[in-house]
A = this chain, B = another copy of it.
Amino acid sequence: MIDEQQVAITDSEWELMRAVWTLKRVSSRQLITIMEEERQWADSTTKTLLRRLIKKGAITPVGDARPYDYVPAVQEQASMDAAAVRLFDQMCAMRAGSAVAAVINSRELSQADIAQLQQILQEKAKTAPQMVACNCLPAGMGENCMSEGDDVDGQR
């Protein structure tokens, strides 16, 4: 199913999801153990989060007998991509490039990742504009968030 994109996953839910994605099929017991060891969550906490994720359709219980197992109902990569794109969508378009740079700098990437990114960039360069317009204000109020000094107020 591809209805996933809209499932909003919160910070703590994200933690649980990662375990489910990684194990592909887990019992609540395993999840409780993992989250206890990893975040010191009380078992009830894991149970609650598991329940919420099931309700919002991010996890599906499988099996017919009592100790059910749980499997992800949304893909990890797709969820990550959506979350990342969404974040960038709410920030100034003009500064996205630098933000991406910050992310890359903060992270370890494999040779393959780098190659893929270089590939994409090279392709993108062919049609890239000289400059990306700032989209921080409603049309008409044409201002640009990068004009001049990035001042940060008084106390300096």
Q: Which residues of A contact B (CB under 8 A)?
A: 1, 4, 11, 14-15, 18-19, 21-24, 34, 37-38, 60, 62, 71-77, 80-81, 83-85, 87-93, 95-114, 116-118, 120-122, 124-125, 128-132, 134, 136-138, 141, 143-145, 150-156
Q: How far is the CB of A8 from the nearest CB of chain B, in Å? A: 11
Task: Give bound CA distance, A52 to B40, whole Å.
Answer: 31
| Chain B neighbourhood of A109, CB < 8 A | 96-97, 100, 121, 124, 128, 132
| Chain B neighbourhood of A134, CB < 8 A | 22
| Chain B neighbourhood of A77, CB < 8 A | 95, 98-99, 150
Contact of A130 among B19, B110, B118, B150 (CB under 8 A): B110
Look across to chain B and name the residue whose beta carbon is closest to the beta carbon of A118. B121
Task: Give bound CA distance, A71 to B154, whole Å.
Answer: 9
Q: How far is the CB of A64 from the nearest CB of chain B, in Å? A: 13
| Chain B neighbourhood of A106, CB < 8 A | 85, 88-89
| Chain B neighbourhood of A117, CB < 8 A | 97, 100-101, 104, 117, 121
User: Do A137 and B80 form a contact, CB below 8 Å, given A100-B100, A153-B71, A156-B1?
Assistant: no
| Chain B neighbourhood of A96, CB < 8 A | 80, 103, 107, 109, 113
Contact of A11 among B14, B37, B90 (CB under 8 A): B90
| Chain B neighbourhood of A156, CB < 8 A | 1
User: Do A72 and B152 form a contact, CB below 8 Å, given A18-B92, A110-B130?
Assistant: yes
